Amino acid sequence: MKECKLNLYDCPVTYTLSVLGGKWKWLIIYILSGEGTLRYGELRRNLSGITHKMLSQQLKELEADQLINRKEYHQIPPKVEYSLTQKGQTLIPILDLMCYWGETNWSKVNPDN
């Protein structure tokens, strides 16, 4: 494992966290990895508790980092679809490991599950 100096330019972990920090980005990627292509409203319904402003901001950042595609259809009413890019799909194995870790350790925190 590469040594990290906790500097954005010297550490891959710091860089990754700067791109994917917070809970919403990982959840957006997780939902898109399972569903494929979704419209804005479908994404919002799948993300309980997210505000319009936060979802819009997170989608713009993910698109700027080339992790999701945004396809806009010029019609009335407007239609926009989101999907993972090839770069975004490279995060799926990490999500799988996160899911495995969560399943393995969740019962230790929540004995009723």
pLDDT score of 50:
95
Tokens of 111: 């004995």
Q: What is the pLDDT of residues 33-88, one digit of tens each?
A: 999 999 999 999 999 999 999 999 999 999 999 999 999 999 988 899 999 999 99
pLDDT score of 22:
82
Does 49 fall in a domain? yes
1, pLDDT greater than 80? no
Q: What is the pTM of this model?
A: 0.83
Number of compact structural domains in the chain:
1
User: 101 lies in which domain range?
Assistant: 12-109
pLDDT score of 49:
93
CATH code where residue 45 lies: 1.10.10.10
The runs of H, that is alpha helices, within the chain are: 12-20, 23-35, 40-46, 52-64, 86-89, 92-109
Does 72 fall in a domain? yes
3-state SS class at 5: coil
Q: What is the pLDDT of residues 3-36, one digit of tens each?
A: 666 665 678 878 888 888 888 999 999 999 999 9
